[in-house]
Amino acid sequence: MPTPAPAGSAFFVRLAGLLALVLLPELSSAQGLRVLLRDSLRQEPLVGASVAVTGTALGAASDASGAAVLTPAPAPGTRLRITALGFRPRVVAAPAAGATLTLLLAPSAQEIEEEVLVTATRTNSHIEDLPTRVEVLGAEEMEEESSIKPASIASLFGDIAGTQIQPTSPTTGNLDLRLQGLPGQYTQILRDGVPLYGGFAGSFGLLTVPPLDLRQVELIKGSNSTLYGGGAIAGLVNLVSKTPTLDAPQYALSLNQTSLRETDLSSFAARRGRRWGYSAFVGLVKQTEKDIDGDGFVDVPRVRNLNLHPRLFFYPNGHSQLALGYTGTLETRRAGDLQVLKQGPDVATGHLFFVDNTSLRNTADLLYTNESLGGGRLTLKATATDFVRDVGTNADAFTAYQTTYYTEASYLHPAGPRHTLVIGLNVNGEQLASFNRSATPLRSPYRYATVGAFAQDDWQLADRLRLQGGLRLDHHNQFGSFLLPRLALLFKASSAVTARLNGGLGYRAPVPYINSLDERDYPLVQPLRGVRAETSLGLNGDVNYQHTWAGFDEPLVLNVNQSFFYTRLQNPLVLNGAGFSGPYGQNYLTWANATAPLSTRGLETYVRLRADETELYLGYVFTDARRQYELVNQHLPLAARHKFAAMGLVEFTDHFSAGLEASYIGRQYLSNGLTSPGYPLFATLVRYHAGEWTVALNGENVLDYRQTRREKVVQAPFGNPVFSELWAPVEGRVFNVSVAWRLPKS
């Protein structure tokens, strides 16, 4: 018979058993490998991420705390592959058994399609988490625009509240992008976060950017010089190029024909392996000249355009990338007297006027990113552009060349769970000079160089409150130093209501030429003397409401947004001199700073209802833009005070969709103090998908509203005419049909 254990011994036996039951799971886990996964930008746990041992069936998914446990633990040095939707995959070596491995995954726009990642704010953040209001035109809009205007993205901005596409020439077809009432020279254009055009090279800029080559377009309104330096007083536009995706080749081909005798052929290809990848775009445009109103002068110029954009990608490892690219654009644009274009000048009959523009732009760029340097992201950028433009008219000739360069080094570092810090340095410059044969006073080139340093902190103050603060110091070799602070605040009042408030300072260095100049005025512009840089104060705010109804075949999403904007521009530059405002006027043109500021203010309202591809949009913009330095006519010319827009797109089946757009452009003040009438514009679109093929029929300005129906835009003397200010289209109604092939199918 066994001897009973003492009472004290029984207590210790039971206690040991209880401790074993409690500690057994922990002891078991200790024999495995614990992996903690975090978002590299926001330091938040990644739920549902996968940790797998390559070449085996062993794997685990991360829980609500971002932890995944591999049991049994793989041998030290074994390769582990970590993947998560919306993040770049990583391959790492396993540590010793019982260790805890903490990994940061970097967000990747290539790995996710439904969520929108914004790159222009330097943090690659989700759009709903940004204190700065960013409007994004994504892949669907790029595909649609490829069917409507495959040669350029200019018309895309006509559908966005607070933007206005303003024609500047009744013959050459040039356009100006105005944000929040300000002329186009106050908007900065970027490509993949690098300034794309500037000064003289800005001519015909948006008209030479094809949508098939882009993944998305990001638009930030208001003063943003803190982000990328001088020039972004009205806002900035960032064009994000397509990039190759691992094991998912992309091919696209598009052919388009318009009723204005424009033919467009565009092609795109991209492919990526483990180490190497490439993307390539080739576009051709052929536009025949056309006189729409029958006055003997072309309203649509003769255009020949070749656009090349190849890029080569190298991936040294799973967290770094090197991209080398080249962009080449060759364009000839001929306009003027229709008889001169067809038969040549005739002195006897007075048919003399013509304008020829030939431009060649070559750009080389480099981009390097490393996502794992000290737990943050290092980005190196460099680009150089050589631009030559030859302008010839029956009165004179002007040829100039411009070289620009931009270099930048920036580092993004998650500084704790609530801070994301970006710091950087950049050097950029430009040089403009004319060739000796040009009839221009710009004999000596101007040379600009700017050195800048910037810092930005995204601070999660609370669960519902986020602050983005930035500071930039630029030193310009001609115009001195500029200290540019910026603050942006995001408050999430509830899951449905968010509010933003943004403010900052900006500046713009003077340049001799702007987009709206008549080509005959180029030789008359005097070199810059005694002028100061323009500086600005900008303020933007908005309140957004979003609600989703899930009880439908596709979720129904309602967005209501109300915003306001204000910009005060100090030392605005004005062009003094008659130029070609009178017959054969030969007065030289000089730039000078005005004695009082220019200001714009306004309100934007829009309502959007969307279910998958079906969408309804209503918008209204009020803009009050004033030149306080003008005593009589203070209203800024060609800034529409009222703009209404409506758009409806319905997907009837998986193959067939149709849309209608309507807008009303309110009255615009002209330079002479008079006002233009308001006018409507309507557009229609019908698309049919069949596998990899898409056929689209589109109509722009289907009511055929033209300024030339209200007044003559070409005034005597017709051998060297005077043009009226353009406040409405002159090309009239346009229909086009396009056929596109895409792999993978859309």
Q: Please tell me the predicted confidence (pLDDT) of residue 42.
A: 63
Token code pair at residue 137: 């035109």
Contact 123, 379 (CB under 8 A): no
Q: Which of 132-146, 279-293, 478-492, 602-616 has the lowest mean pLDDT?
A: 132-146
Arithmetic mean of pLDDT over the chain:
86
> What is the rounded CA–CA span in Å between residue 663 and residue 647?
9
> What is the rounded CA–CA span in Å between residue 147 and residue 138?
15
Q: Please tell me the predicted confidence (pLDDT) of residue 584.
A: 45
> What is the rounded CA–CA span in Å between residue 697 and residue 657?
11
415, burial (CB in 10 Å: exposed 0-12, middle 13-18, buried 19+): middle
> Looking at the predicted structure, is the pLDDT value of residue 716 above 60?
yes
SS3 for 170?
coil
> Looking at the predicted structure, is the pLDDT value of residue 17 above 70?
no
Q: What is the value of pTM for the model shown?
A: 0.82
Q: Please tell me the predicted confidence (pLDDT) of residue 518.
A: 85
Number of C-beta neighbours around residue 465 at 10 A: 13
Mean pLDDT of 335-349: 92
Q: What angle do CA 190, 525, 231 make, to 5 degrees?
A: 20
Contact 244, 563 (CB under 8 A): no
Whose structure tokens read 């557009």?
683
Contact 60, 32 (CB under 8 A): no
663-691: pLDDT as tens digits: 999 999 999 889 999 999 999 999 998 88
> Looking at the predicted structure, is the pLDDT value of residue 583 above 50?
no
Sign of the dihedral defined by the CA atoms of residues 21, 23, 29, 35, in that order: positive
Q: Please tell me the predicted confidence (pLDDT) of residue 586.
A: 56
686-703: pLDDT as tens digits: 999 888 999 999 999 999
Q: Please tell me the predicted confidence (pLDDT) of residue 418.
A: 85
Whose structure tokens read 């596998």?
691
> What is the rounded CA–CA span in Å between residue 307 and residue 324?
17
> What is the rounded CA–CA span in Å between residue 116 and residue 217?
11
Q: What angle do CA 677, 678, 682 make, to 5 degrees?
A: 135
Mean pLDDT of 138-166: 80
> Looking at the predicted structure, is the pLDDT value of residue 578 above 70?
no
> Looking at the predicted structure, is the pLDDT value of residue 29 above 50?
no
Between the ranges 433-447, 496-510, 545-559, where is the mean pLDDT highest?
Answer: 496-510
> What is the rounded CA–CA span in Å between residue 315 and residue 332?
38
Report cis status (omega within 30 of 0) of the bond before 183. Answer: no
Integer-rounded Cα Rg, in Å, for the chain is 29
- Cα-to-chain-centroid distance, residue 153: 10
Q: Which of 43-52, 212-221, 363-372, 553-562 has the lowest mean pLDDT?
A: 43-52
Give the residue from 309, 278, 219 showing the smallest Cα distance to 540: 219
Write down the H helix ranges in 121-238.
Answer: 139-148, 225-228
Contact 336, 361 (CB under 8 A): no
> Looking at the predicted structure, is the pLDDT value of residue 204 above 90?
no
> What is the rounded CA–CA span in Å between residue 179 and residue 635?
16
Please count the CA atoms within 13 angstroms of the CA of 145 that sit on its side-chain side: 24
DSSP 416-457: STTEEEEEEEEEEEEEEEE-TTS-SS--SPEEEEEEEEEEEE
Q: Please tell me the predicted confidence (pLDDT) of residue 23.
A: 42
> Looking at the predicted structure, is the pLDDT value of residue 639 above 80?
yes
90-118: pLDDT as tens digits: 878 888 777 788 888 876 544 433 456 78
> Looking at the predicted structure, is the pLDDT value of residue 5 above 50?
no
> What is the rounded CA–CA span in Å between residue 191 and residue 707?
33
Give the residue from 698, 682, 705 showing the smallest Cα distance to 740: 698
> Looking at the predicted structure, is the pLDDT value of residue 417 above 70?
yes
Q: Please tell me the predicted confidence (pLDDT) of residue 91.
A: 78
Burial 261-284 (b: 16+ CB within 10 A, else e): ebebebbbbbbbeeeebebebbbe
75-87: pLDDT as tens digits: 887 888 888 876 7
Contact 263, 694 (CB under 8 A): no
DSSP 61-100: E--TTSEEEESSPPPTT-EEEEE-TTB--EEEE--STT-E
> What is the rounded CA–CA span in Å between residue 615 and residue 535?
40
Give the residue from 461, 456, 452, 432 showing the smallest Cα distance to 444: 432
Strand partners, 569: 536, 598
Between the ranges 231-245, 424-438, 491-505, 514-528, where is the mean pLDDT highest?
Answer: 491-505
* Element spanning 22, H or E: helix 7-30
* Element spanning 238, H or E: strand 235-241
> Looking at the predicted structure, is the pLDDT value of residue 465 above 90?
yes
- Domains of the chain, earliest start first: 30-105 (2.60.40.4130), 139-166+177-743 (2.40.170.20)
